[in-house]
Amino acid sequence: MIFNFVEGGVLDEIGNNRSIDAMRSVQFRQRAFPNVSNMNLSSSILGKETRVPFFVSPMGMLGMVHPHADPGVAKAIAEAGGVFIHSAWSGVGLPEVVQAAPGQVWAQAQFWKDRSYTEQHLDQAESLGVNVLVLPGDCTVGEERERELYHGLNRLPPILTLPDLISCAMRPRWVAGYLLGGRRVTYGNYAPGGRPLKMSEMKPFMKNQKDRSVSWKDVRAIRERWKGKVVIKGVMCAEDARIALDLGADAVYVSTLGGRQFDRQPGTIEVLDEVVEAVGGRAEVYCDGGVYRGADVLNILSRGATAAGIGRAAAYALAAGGRPAVSQFLGTLTDELQTAMAFCGVQSISEIDASIRRSFSDAVS
Ligand SMILES: Cc1cc2nc3c(=O)[nH]c(=O)nc-3n(C[C@H](O)[C@H](O)[C@H](O)COP(=O)(O)O)c2cc1C
């Protein structure tokens, strides 16, 4: 059930599979006798020095996956030298996450119908010293995630099916850890009436607060109000990248939300070149979708993006072993990135460009 919550995309899952397939179709030009004496992955993301050119993408409800949840992942990526983006749909409030990884957390905000929830979230982020806000351009509507229907996760608390109960019984260690972990399922950022939402109140809250009228005007309003940096997530074409820049975005973030909103999409890596070209160096560009290996990060950077986002891969590590497993995974990803860079004949992030890739026509001939 938990695996399917993380793994699932919408409808036929064409979009998610496409991002993964497109990401893996890259071929790099191998160089002989790579010089690896001076490998350096340090970089800068929105003015912040980082030791790795990647971050963990925002993911809601990580507390369902493992009680270490967002603070565990935030600590792991901060120790690895990257940044954590806290989801607007997180089960853990922003203060606990910022405390786990001071200075390394960005906040995602959502445009709720009652904008006072959005406003309070922004005020809180500001008072905690968070200086980067991530706005999702792709969460106004969404298609169905059918794996969640199968497991009864469309209702909260979920109504477990017999196969799910058997599956839980076969994983006593995970279940015990989960039950003893003391992490309640709720939306950590919102406390209408002064108390956290109960699990049974979460779906109605989302439904009532969904604002179908959200537009770029709302982005403009937030841009005028928020003193820090603004990142627009879910940009999948040149036109939207230009609009985001005209409204004063500091970065555009190519993402299909992991194929969890709209199924008939290109893979993110397939539109990255178009977006990078439209941005033309006036802002930073990020990309996620199908990043599981160091070579995937390299693929993204070779197209002119500043950083790559990691979604499911970090969630699987969290599910398997909490914070230590996320640290182990991030260490492996970093090693893989170094090795792939070495084979491409580059030792630092600034040396990475399109020349490290073979073009598809080379590949065919
Ligand atoms: C369990 C889960 C929850 C997610 N929740 C959010 C969210 O709250 N906000 C958001 O912008 N994206 C959300 N995403 C999408 C990720 O931010 C990211 O775009 C996506 O996972 C990247 O693709 P990948 O999973 O192939 O790495 C979620 C993804 C997963 C797997």
- Asked whether 312 lines ligand 1 (CB < 6 A), one says yes
* Of 18, 74, 58, 54, nearest in space to 340 by CA: 54
pLDDT category of residue 361 using cuts at 50, 70 and 90: low
Compute and round to an integer the Cα radius of gyration of the chain. 20
Lowest mean pLDDT among 53-57, 71-75, 171-175: 171-175
Residue count of the chain: 365
Percent of the chain residues topping a pLDDT of 70: 98
pLDDT at residue 360 above 70?
A: no
Give the C-alpha separation, 29 to 348, whole Å.
17
Q: Does a cis peptide bond (omega within 30 degrees of 0) precede residue 157? A: yes
**Per-residue pLDDT at 362:** 55
Mutation pick for ligand 1 pocket among 59, 202, 252 (CB with most ligand atoms within 8 Å): 59
Whichever domain contains 98, its CATH number is 3.20.20.70
Structural domain range at position 71: 2-364
Encode pLDDT of 72-131 as tens digits.
999 999 999 999 999 999 999 999 999 999 999 999 999 999 999 999 999 999 999 999
**Per-residue pLDDT at 365:** 44
- Asked whether 291 lines ligand 1 (CB < 6 A), one says yes
Number of domains in the chain: 1
Encode pLDDT of 242-259 as tens digits.
999 999 999 999 999 999
pLDDT at residue 176 above 70?
A: yes
pLDDT at residue 359 above 80?
A: no
* Of 72, 331, 83, 94, nearest in space to 177 by CA: 72
Average pLDDT over residues 321-343: 98
> b vs e for 220-242, b when ≥16 Cβ sit within 10 Å of the residue's Cβ?
eebbeebebbbbbbbbbebebbb
Average pLDDT over residues 181-196: 85
Which atom in ligand 1 lies closest to the alpha carbon of residue 312? 25
Look at 209 and 184; give whichever has higher pLDDT. Answer: 209
**Per-residue pLDDT at 177:** 87
Instruction: Say whether pTM exceeds 0.85.
Output: yes
Encode pLDDT of 129-152 as tens digits.
999 999 999 999 999 999 999 898
- Asked whether 311 lines ligand 1 (CB < 6 A), one says yes
